[in-house]
Amino acid sequence: MSGARESVHGMWSGRFAFILAATGAAVGLGNIWKFPYIMGENGGGAFVLVYLLCIVLIGIPVMMSEVLIGRRGRQSPGLSVKTLAQEASSSTRWQIAGWSGLVASYLILSFYAVVAGWALAYVIKTARGDFQGVTAEAIGGQFDAHLANPWALMAWSAVILFVTVYVVGRGVHKGLEKAVNFLMPSLFVLLGIMAIYSASNGAFSEAVQFMFTPDFSKLTINGVLLALGHAFFTLSLASGAMIIYGAYLPSNVSIAKTSVLIALVDTAVAMLAGIAIYPLVFQYGLTPAEGPGLIFVTLPIAFGSMPFGTFFGTMFFVMLVFAAFTSAIAMIESTVAWLVERKGLNRLVATAATGGSLWLIGLLTVFSFAKADWATFELNVFGKPITNFFEVVDYLTSAIMLPLGGLVIAIFVGWVMKRKITEEELQTSAAVYAIWRFAIRWFTPIAVIIVFLHLIGVLDL
């Protein structure tokens, strides 16, 4: 039966197209916007260390598993897992792994589009020279003012969703491949330039100390959970994305090699972003726990004072928007693929309906940042304060749905699917296969279960 199924949505043209798309899905706001600020909120070095361990021991094996599921199932995430469960003559309940990914990526996109909208607005602000000759404080003030205007935020996120819907709905990924081909390396180079600029003009040694000297006394169990969850988020795991992208992957491509490559690039981008941002944080007396505004109040400081700052700054935000955009496409794709497969909807209609509903749900995030009364409150979830709807959606997805989704995927692939099938699909050396299989059967389940037991207070370490 191997390779018997075909995806009804088409296929990637080859290995390189898949690598570009999957890297595009991986590299995004998670690396450049989210990683730096959650690292700061969770004490720095120790968080980074746990995060890196999670990428290597859990992220890469889970990514391989998802691509494998997708390529074997050749359908949207839920249906792929369901088909494979039936083949393993096991309960179709396992399909929950696929469906929860679909829901998670849908929910994530609701706030992701809003934040991508900030980046889009910042393209214009930077190009206009808003940050030239302005104090660090005033730059912070500009960001607060930006958030305080919900109408503008709604408009920007509408633009992001509209373009996403257009591209996905019309199936014009082809042109996109070309754009990404050029923009991703450029983003990398530009981040490198930013990192060098910050390192030489900011408090570099303090930044390195903060990012790479683990102080475990600063890491709470919630911090560990967020590091684990972010490893999933940043690699686009347990979100359906890698399953659906795997579904379009030609059979002769090495899943192991491409997964490692994608994880490497993703991690490198996150580290570069940290090095571009933290020297400025310490130089200008900002706090690492600044929160979601961190890059929007630090990088403009650099753009305002560095040579060719307007040019570099504008380019930077353009590329950030593109990086976000290629991730947004990955997030919407599984919902659309499912609506097309099962509901028989026309692709454009399915995409437009998804995009429209996302915009509405995104209002929760918009009004959270605009600090509307109805969108802010005080909750305490396992010791973590949650103060608005954005934080609810973020915590629910990254801290809860992604790790639990990853757990189910790991158990399904490691314990339920027949060894022969996973071997056949991974087509790798005996040693790599053995390492992968060990990791997926033990590391992911044990780590996720221990962290959750600890979180709910059943287990005390």
Residue 7 engages ligand PFF in binding (rule: CB under 6 A): no
Alpha carbon distance, N-terminus to C-terminus of the chain: 47
Nearer CB in complex with ligand PFF: 95/239: 239
Q: In this structure, are residues 222 and 216 in contact, taking their beta carbons and an 8 Å threshold?
A: no
* Stretch near ligand PFF under the rule CB under 6 A, chosen from 119-127, 272-280, 327-335, 450-458: 327-335
* Stretch near Na ion under the rule CB under 5 A, chosen from 57-65, 108-116, 229-237, 450-458: 229-237
Cβ at position 323, least distance to ligand PFF in Å: 7
Nearer CB in complex with ligand PFF: 164/444: 164
Residue 110 engages ligand PFF in binding (rule: CB under 6 A): no
Residues 388-417: x where in contact with ligand PFF by CB under 6 A, - otherwise, as a string: ------------------------------
Residue 62 engages ligand PFF in binding (rule: CB under 6 A): no
Cβ at position 127, least distance to Na ion in Å: 26
* Stretch near ligand PFF under the rule CB under 6 A, chosen from 72-80, 175-183, 324-332, 416-424: 324-332
Question: 59 is written with which tokens?
Answer: 């992220």
Within 10 A of 242 (CB to CB), how many other CB atoms are there? 32
Pick one of 26, 225, 249, 455: the residue that binds ligand PFF (CB under 6 A).
Answer: 26
Question: 380 is written with which tokens?
Answer: 């305490």
Cβ at position 105, least distance to ligand PFF in Å: 4
Rounded to an integer, what distance in angstroms lies between the CA atom of residue 271 and that of residue 39? 11
Partner touching 65 among ligand PFF, Na ion, none, CB below 5 to 8 Å by kind:
none
CA distances, 255 to each of 31, 59, 232, 267, 451 (Å): 23, 14, 18, 18, 28
Cβ at position 324, least distance to ligand PFF in Å: 7
Rounded to an integer, what distance in angstroms lies between the CA atom of residue 142 and that of residue 103? 34
Residue 267 engages Na ion in binding (rule: CB under 5 A): no
Nearer CB in complex with ligand PFF: 28/61: 28
Rounded to an integer, what distance in angstroms lies between the CA atom of residue 17 and that of residue 170? 18
- Of 233, 245, 238, 235, nearest to 73 by C-alpha is 245
Task: Tell me the one-letter amino acid at 4.
Answer: A
Contact set for ligand PFF, span 121-180 (CB under 6 A): none
Residue 274 engages Na ion in binding (rule: CB under 5 A): no
Rounded to an integer, what distance in angstroms lies between the CA atom of residue 82 and that of residue 38? 35
The string of DSSP codes covering 302-336 is HHHHSTTHHHHHHHHHHHHHHHHHHHHHHHHHHHH
Nearer CB in complex with ligand PFF: 109/439: 109
Q: In this structure, are residues 269 and 188 in contact, taking their beta carbons and an 8 Å threshold?
A: yes
Residue 31 engages Na ion in binding (rule: CB under 5 A): yes
Q: Give the residues across from 388 on adjacent strands.
A: 376
Contact set for ligand PFF, span 238-257 (CB under 6 A): 239, 241
- Of 396, 370, 408, nearest to 107 by C-alpha is 396
Residue 283 engages ligand PFF in binding (rule: CB under 6 A): no
Residue 98 engages ligand PFF in binding (rule: CB under 6 A): no
Cβ at position 97, least distance to ligand PFF in Å: 14
Q: Which residues of 150-182 are buried (b: 16+ CB within 10 A; e: fewer)?
A: bebbbebbbebbebbbebbbeeebeebbeebee
Q: Give the residues across from 381 on adjacent strands.
A: 384
Q: In this structure, are residues 222 and 455 in contact, taking their beta carbons and an 8 Å threshold?
A: yes
Contacts to Na ion by CB under 5 A? 26, 30-31, 234, 266
Contacts to ligand PFF by CB under 6 A? 25-26, 28-31, 105, 108, 233-234, 236, 239, 241, 327, 330-331
